[in-house]
Amino acid sequence: MQTVTLNNGIEMPIIGFGVYQVPDAEECENAVYEALMAGYRLIDTAAGYVNEEAVGRAIKRSGIPREQLFVTTKLWVQDAGYEKTQQAFARSMQKLQLDYLDLYLIHQPFGDYYGAWRAMEELYHQGKIRAIGVSNFLPDRLMDLIMNNDITPAVNQIETHPFYQQNESAAFLKEHGVYHQSWAPFAEELNNMFGNDVLVAIAARHNKSVAQIVLRWLVQRDIVVIPKSVRKERIIENFDIFDFELDAEDIRQIASLDTGKSLFLSYLDPEVAKKMGSWKIDL
């Protein structure tokens, strides 16, 4: 398994399995189990996905030793704040049936995420979390968090795919020792990603699928990826990306697809902050 080294020396698999939008308990448990059987060792969930319990059952069912796994979950906005974060972490651990967590992320840059970060720093120092990080933080908010706290986030998980390549953010993260992780590597199939002429042609040259090309492109950029699927054959296919390499011309052609804009939402939009702040998950 190819790994990356986070800023505190912890190793993290460069490819993992995500469970966003898989709320059905049985489907989620089976998908995570198949991923673990296929060789994935990084599992990415979140309180906001409402499937931590299913992930926990799949981990237990797999029988894989805990030390071989890298489990990530995330803190939702309603639980931001020092005391609420401690309580939310305890709930997540109970649902996941784990004694410690490998990576805990602040899911959104809204609410009292400074209080949340202080609680996460304490949990880290207590050995309950091996690494702490953030998700969806723009460079200005991330810089402010770095400057005013003791621990620099180990990871920033942000939207990254061929249509939104995040080159400036990638350079910023690298400069400050924060690992870049991609969510929505397939852009949730928007912009007809799997039918895109450029990607289809590159896939044909390498005798691979478009999904494999996109994941390989991200890995070659040293970006951690967490593709999602509930189909066993796709789960296996997405993991099979280490027996080929994209060349300079492939990279150049993929670079031409960048729109420089999110396909989903803008974190500079006040309405996004309002929506995120008012969205409550069922605890």
Catalytic residues: 49
| Residue in the block written with tokens 């040293």 | 222
Domains of the chain: 3-278 (3.20.20.100)
- For every one of its 283 residues, what pLDDT tens digit does the chain have, with 9 covering 90 and above? 899 999 999 999 999 999 999 989 999 999 999 999 999 999 999 999 999 999 999 999 999 999 999 999 999 999 999 999 999 999 999 999 999 999 999 999 999 999 999 999 999 999 999 999 999 999 999 999 999 999 999 999 999 999 999 999 999 999 999 999 999 999 999 999 999 999 999 999 999 999 999 999 999 999 999 999 999 999 999 999 999 999 999 999 999 999 999 999 999 999 999 999 999 987 6
What is the per-residue pLDDT for 282? Answer: 78
d(CA 223, CA 8): 17
What's the CA gap between 12 and 164, in Å, rounded? 24
Q: What are phi and psi of 139, to 5 degrees?
A: -55, -35
What is the value of pTM for the model shown? 0.97
Backbone angles phi, psi at 132, to 5 degrees: -125, 150
> How far is the C-alpha of 83 from the C-alpha of 141, rounded, in Å?
22
Rounded to the nearest angstrom, the gap between the alpha carbon of residue 247 and the centroid of all alpha carbons in its chain is: 26
How many CA atoms lie less than 13 Å away from 45 in the CB half-sphere?
27
Q: Please give the pLDDT value at position 13.
A: 98
Q: Which residues contact 224 (CB under 8 A, 6 or more apart)?
A: 4, 12, 13, 14, 15, 16, 42, 155, 179, 180, 181, 182
Residue type, 218: L
